C-alpha cells in the first residue's frame, strides 16, 4: 500500500503539494474551534514545530544527508508534509476570524498566503524555492504568534503585537541560520543577507497592515453587528427587534426612524477567556455638504472574554438626522474590529411593522 501511494504521489507530484495544502485547510476547519482552547493551542504548536522540522529535513535532503538512513525512503513526502502543515497554520488564522463581520480584512492575509503557495509551484524555475519557503514560513509563524501570545498572557495591545513580531522574526532567523550552516546546497541557492532583508521586508509589511487597521486586532473578533430599533435585556438574554436584511446583510441598512425614537447598535465580540478589553462604538455621520464623515459620539464599555457566542453589548443614540451613518467598533487604542454601515430615513408618519424579534 505504501509503495502504491508513493507511486501515486510521484505521478501527480505537480499537484500533490496543492492538494496537501488544501487538506491542511480542511482538516483545521473540521477540528479547530476556539483560539483559547488548549486543544487548539497544542495542535497549532505541533503544526509549527513540525513545519520547522520538515523544512530542516527537506533542505538537507538535497545534500544527501539522509542517504543510507531510514529517512531516505520518505524524502518524497517532505514537501507534502510542509504543504500540509503550512495549510493548517495559514487556515487557522482565517478560521478563527471568518466569523467576524470584518472578514475582508482577514481575507487579505489569506490571499497573500495563497499567492505565496502558488508562486512556489508556478515560478519555481525563475525564483529560488527556498526564498519562497522561508518567506511563507515566516508569514505563518508571525500570524501564529499574534494570536498565541495574547491568549497566553491574557492581554492584547500594540505592545503585545510588537513582542509577537519580535519572537517570530527571531525564531525564523534562527531556523534559517541553522539550516544555512548545515546545508551546502542552501548556501549555494540563497544569499543569507538577501534572505534576511526579505524577512525584514515581510515583517515591515505585516506591521504596516496592522497599524493601518487592514487586519483585525487579534485575537478579538466581531461576530455580530446589528442596528436595532428596540432592545431589552432580561436576565442574561438580549431581546432585539430590527428590520431583517437580505442575503448579504443580517439587517436592512435602510433604517426607518421616527423622531424621538432610539436606535441601538448591538455587537457580540469574541475574546479569549480571562481577557478583558475596553471597546468603543464610534458613531459617524456623513455630512452631505462636505461629503466627509463627522464623529457624532464615542461610547465605550468593557468586555470580558470566554463566552462562546461572544461578549454582548450595545450603545444607543437619540436625535439622529437623516443620511448615511457608520459605527466603527474599535478597541480603546484605536484598532478597528469592524464597521457597521446604515442609512437613516426620517419619517414621522411610518411605523415599523416589518420588525423581526430575536433572542441572543
pLDDT at 72: 83
323 backbone φψ class: left, alpha, beta (φ>0; ψ -120 to 50): left
CB 75 within 8 A of CB 61: yes
State the pLDDT confidence band at 128, using cuts at 50, 70 and 90. Answer: very low
If one compares 259 and 7, the residue with the highest pLDDT of the two is 259
Query: Does residue 231 sit in the same domain as residue 178?
Result: no
Query: Does residue 83 sit in the same domain as residue 163?
Result: yes
Grid cell 489569506 is found at 110
Last residue of a domain, one of 211, 232, 253: 211
State the pLDDT confidence band at 127, using cuts at 50, 70 and 90. Answer: very low
Query: Does residue 88 sit in the same domain as residue 7?
Result: yes
Q: What is the CA radius of gyration of the chain?
A: 25
- The Cα–Cα gap between 339 and 101 comes to 8
Query: Does residue 250 sit in the same domain as residue 269?
Result: yes
| CATH number where 262 lies | 2.60.40.1930
Query: Does residue 19 sit in the same domain as residue 72?
Result: yes
Kindly state whether residue 69 falls inside one of the protein's structural domains. yes
Full-prediction pTM beyond 0.85? Answer: no
Query: Does residue 203 sit in the same domain as residue 288?
Result: no
- The Cα–Cα gap between 226 and 148 comes to 29
Number of domains making up the chain: 2
Kindly state whether residue 172 falls inside one of the protein's structural domains. yes
User: Tens of pLDDT along 151-193?
Assistant: 888 888 888 889 999 999 999 999 999 999 999 988 888 888 8
Query: Does residue 302 sit in the same domain as residue 156?
Result: no
Query: Does residue 115 sit in the same domain as residue 188?
Result: yes
Q: Which of 355, 283, 351, 275 is nearest to 316 (CA)?
A: 283
In the sheet that holds 230-234, the strands lie side by side as 230-234, 237-243, 355-359
Query: Mean pLDDT highest for which of 21-35, 199-213, 256-270?
Result: 256-270
Query: Does residue 179 sit in the same domain as residue 319?
Result: no
Kindly state whether residue 216 falls inside one of the protein's structural domains. no
CB 352 within 8 A of CB 240: no
Joined together, the cell numbers standing for residue 228 give 436595532
Last residue of a domain, one of 211, 246, 268: 211
E-strand spans in the chain? 221-228, 230-234, 237-243, 254-257, 262-270, 276-287, 292-304, 311-318, 323-331, 336-346, 355-359
Collapsing DSSP to helix, strand or coil, 64 comes out as: coil
Range of the domain at 135: 2-211
Last residue of a domain, one of 191, 211, 231: 211
Which residues share a beta bridge with 268?
224, 312
Amino acid at each position: 500500500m505504501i509503495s502504491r501511494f508513493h507511486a501515486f504521489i510521484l505521478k501527480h507530484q505537480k499537484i500533490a503539494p496543492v492538494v496537501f495544502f488544501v487538506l491542511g485547510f480542511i482538516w483545521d476547519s473540521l477540528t479547530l474551534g476556539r483560539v483559547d482552547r488548549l486543544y487548539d493551542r497544542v495542535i497549532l504548536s505541533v503544526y509549527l514545530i513540525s513545519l520547522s522540522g520538515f523544512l530542516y529535513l527537506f533542505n538537507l535532503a538535497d545534500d544527501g544527508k539522509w542517504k543510507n538512513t531510514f529517512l531516505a525512503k520518505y524524502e518524497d513526502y517532505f514537501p507534502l508534509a510542509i504543504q500540509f502543515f503550512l495549510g493548517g497554520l495559514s487556515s487557522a488564522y482565517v478560521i478563527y476570524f471568518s466569523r467576524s463581520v470584518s472578514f475582508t480584512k482577514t481575507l487579505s492575509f489569506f490571499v497573500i498566503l495563497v499567492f505565496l503557495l502558488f508562486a512556489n509551484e508556478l515560478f519555481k524555475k525563475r525564483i529560488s524555492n527556498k526564498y519562497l519557503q522561508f518567506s511563507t514560513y515566516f508569514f505563518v509563524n508571525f500570524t501564529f504568534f499574534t494570536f498565541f501570545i495574547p491568549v497566553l498572557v491574557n492581554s492584547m495591545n500594540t505592545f503585545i503585537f510588537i513582542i509577537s513580531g519580535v519572537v517570530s522574526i527571531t525564531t525564523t532567523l534562527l531556523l534559517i541560520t541553522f539550516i544555512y550552516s548545515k546545508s551546502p546546497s542552501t548556501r549555494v541557492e540563497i544569499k543569507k543577507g538577501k534572505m534576511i532583508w526579505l524577512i525584514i521586508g515581510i515583517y515591515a509589511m505585516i506591521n504596516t497592515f496592522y497599524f493601518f487597521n487592514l487586519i483585525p486586532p487579534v485575537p478579538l473578533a466581531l461576530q455580530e453587528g446589528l442596528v436595532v430599533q428596540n432592545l431589552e435585556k432580561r436576565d442574561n438574554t438580549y431581546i432585539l427587534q430590527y428590520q431583517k436584511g437580505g442575503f448579504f446583510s443580517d439587517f436592512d441598512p435602510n433604517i426607518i426612524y421616527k423622531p424621538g425614537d432610539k436606535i441601538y447598535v448591538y455587537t457580540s465580540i469574541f475574546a479569549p477567556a480571562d481577557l478583558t478589553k475596553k471597546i468603543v462604538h464610534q458613531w459617524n455621520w456623513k455630512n452631505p455638504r462636505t461629503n466627509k464623515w463627522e464623529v457624532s459620539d464615542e461610547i465605550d464599555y468593557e468586555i470580558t472574554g470566554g463566552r462562546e457566542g461572544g461578549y454582548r453589548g450595545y450603545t444607543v443614540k437619540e436625535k439622529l438626522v437623516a443620511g448615511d451613518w457608520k459605527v466603527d467598533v474599535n478597541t480603546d487604542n484605536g484598532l478597528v474590529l469592524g464597521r457597521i454601515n446604515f442609512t437613516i430615513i426620517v419619517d414621522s408618519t411610518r411605523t415599523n411593522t416589518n420588525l423581526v424579534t430575536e433572542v441572543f
